Structure 1
Amino acid sequence: MISSVKNEKVKGLKKLHKRKERMNTNTFVVEGFHLLEEASKSEWEILEIIAQEDIIVPDWTENYPMERVSDNVMEHISQTTTPQGVLAVMRMKNQEERKGNHFLIIDSIQDPGNLGTIIRTADAAGMDGIVLGEGTVDLYNDKVIRATQGSIFHIPIYHADLRQELGILKGKGFSIWATALWNATNYNETVPEDKVAIIMGNEGAGVHPELLKLADTIVTIPIYGKAESLNVSIAAGILMYHLKR
């Protein structure tokens, strides 16, 4: 059992709190029983489980290497306010070629909670994949992962140059939708084509103008009350379910 925060493995785990180290090692940390179980049911690779000394772990954890640590070490490496006493080191996954007819394109969304909620909703709505563009919050940020509630392991998520990505999708017969407040059609007045990719933009600036120019359809969600706008994750959910009507 590891009981010192100065242990080299503990130092390595602590470093994974930073994006740079996650990218250097191609690994990240998942924390909590629910997320670990969702990961274990997926095709993602669990490298090692770290469990607090007095925590009872499920039987399935016997399939993976495990290291026990003391309470103070778990508190040191945990990124939650009230640690459950178990986490796992996982390998990042390179997703395969895009398959399916419905994709969500993420342009510079920066709030971890928003991205995580969008991923969770896209999973629930049966989307075929999510493409993350430059400027978007790190997929492996712990707050993003927690907000997905495990959906990060269920739906393909890709990283790409969005201008190139849109060109590829259009070449495959996709209709590109983008969201904007002006010069747009109410989403509920549109009839989704067989293949649709929806661009969701930055919380403050919206979809980048260059990407708007590449869109086939500009849609908006009507505001019936006095709110200035909808949260981007809520807007994404409305549009994704519209595709599935």
Structure 2
Amino acid sequence: MTTKLILSTQNPFIRQLVQLKDKSRERKKTGTFLIEGEREIFLALKGGYELETILIYPELFSLEQLNNLTSQQTNTIEVSKEVYQKLAYRDTTEGVIAIAKSKIHQITNLNFKTNKPLVLVAEAPEKPGNIGAILRTADAANVDAVIIANPKTDLYNPNIIRSSVGCVFTNQIATGNTEEIIGFLKAQNINIYCAALQASENYHTQNFTKPTAIVVGTEATGLSNEWLENSTQNIIIPMQGEIDSMNVSVAAGILIFEAKRQRNFK
């Protein structure tokens, strides 16, 4: 393992990495992104991601720790405190950042290991924090796939990585537009249960033991008509307070774990 040293924040390579951290356009153009933190890098490796380069701030993260983290032959760069702080996204951090290659998340790449998959679909989620929370829920429930319809941000936004605690790497994820996702689900004979207020039945009265997609929309606008027109059944979580909606990640958790309960948490 060869190690280089970069001390200046004005180094052209470091300036390029700052763009990679801050700009979705740059991540898409290069097909790479940054991963910050030991646990997140470990989960990315577990999820089959390829690392191009690892940067460490030696006072916080040693070469010995790096050797314990990965056996991949990866370029290693030691950086100064100023360089590390320029690249780090979190206030509290561990001294290690990786440059990783993005994966392609096409709907046709999904591979189910069961004939009764449980899929979570989120339409047009805007807030990276909500997407991260949804991915943590999906990981906790070990769903077969997460599908994001009409995404408003790229999956490798550093706030999604942070808020998902690396679960963006442990879930099987696909993205696409609503039309192609509905077509895919129907072709796979997966029942579509849409969380919606219109023509709904209480969620716990439904049978989620068959091939199931649970679909959630945004708190502001809900799901598009296209989903409602193609729904096997609209479902609702009964509200007992003054408002008629809850945070999308909370709703997704309630619905997914009801499905897991019915499946005896298999």
TM-score range, shorter chain: over 0.9
Q: 1:55 offset after TM fit, Å?
A: 2.4
Question: Which 10-residue stretch deviates more, 31-40 or 102-111?
Answer: 31-40
1:87 paired residue number: 97
The whole-number CA distance in structure 2 between the counterparts of 1:124 and 1:11 is: 37
Q: CA RMSD in A?
A: 1.6
Shift of 1:94: 2.3
Equivalent pair of 1:27/1:91 in contact (CA under 8 Å): yes
154, 162, 179: which is aligned to 1:138?
Answer: 154
Residue 206 (structure 2) aligned to one of 185, 190, 197: 190
Given candidates 129, 133, 136, the residue that maps to 1:117 is 133
Contact 2:57-2:96 within 8 A present in 1 as well:
yes
Q: Distance in 2 between matches of 1:53 and 1:212?
A: 54
**Range 88-97 or range 231-240, more displaced:** 88-97
The residue number in structure 1 matching 2:79 is: 69
Q: Could you tell me how far 1:7 is from its partner in structure 2? A: 0.7
Secondary structure of 1:67's match? strand
**What's the secondary structure of 1:68's corresponding residue?**
strand
Higher mean C-alpha displacement, 55-64 vs 231-240: 55-64
Match of 2:40 in 1: 35
Query: Is the Cα contact below 8 Å between 1:2 and 1:68 reproduced in 2?
Result: yes
Scaled by the length of structure 1, the TM-score of the pair is 0.94
Corresponding residue to 1:60 among 57, 63, 68:
68
* Counterpart for residue 98 of structure 1: 111
CA distance in 2, matches of 1:136, 1:105: 14
Matched, 1:175 2:191: yes
Alpha carbons 2:178, 2:226 under 8 Å: kept:
no
Q: Which residue does the alignment assign to 2:264?
A: none
1:199 and 2:226 are equivalent in the alignment: no
Q: Any gaps of 5 or more consecutive residues in structure 2? A: 262-266
The residue aligned with 1:209 is 225
Specify the code of the residue in structure 2 equivalent to 1:50: L
Partners of 1:241 and 1:77 lie apart in 2 by 37
Provide the rounded CA distance (Å) in 1 between the counterparts of 2:224 and 2:89.
33
Matched residues in 2 for 1:112 and 1:181: separation? 25
Describe the superposition over 1:28-78 as per-residue Cα deviations: whole angstroms up to 9, x where unpaired.
Answer: 111112212222333111111111132233132463321011000111111
Give the Cα separation in 2 of the matches to 1:103 and 1:168. Answer: 12
Distance between the aligned counterparts of 2:70 and 2:215, measured in 1?
42
Change (3 A) 1:193 1:217: farther
Comparing 219-228 with 142-151, which one deviates more in the overlay? 219-228
| Equivalent position SS for 2:6 | coil
Q: Judging changes above 3 Å, is the alpha-carbon distance between structure 1 residues 52 and 175 closer, same or farther for their aligned structure 2 residues? A: same
The 8 Å contact of residues 110 and 145 in structure 2, kept in 1 or not, is answered as no
Q: TM-score, normalised by structure 2?
A: 0.87
Counterpart-to-counterpart distance in 1, 2:120 and 2:33: 24
For the Cα contact (< 8 Å) 2:151–2:176, is it kept in 1?
Answer: no
SS at match of 2:198: coil
One-letter amino acid matched to 2:87: I
Output the amino acid matched with 1:88: A
Contact 1:5 1:73 in 2 (8 A): yes
Correspondence for 2:145: 129
Q: d(CA) in 1 for partners of 2:82 and 2:57?
A: 9
State whether residues 113 and 143 of structure 1, in contact with CA within 8 Å, keep that contact through their aligned partners in structure 2.
yes
1:3-43 residue CA offsets vs partner (Å, 9 max, x unmatched) = 11111110111011210000001111111122122223331
Q: What are structure 1's unaligned runs of at least 5 residues?
A: none
Deviates more, 1:139-148 or 1:77-86: 77-86
Q: Which residue, out of 9, 14, 19, partners 1:15?
A: 19
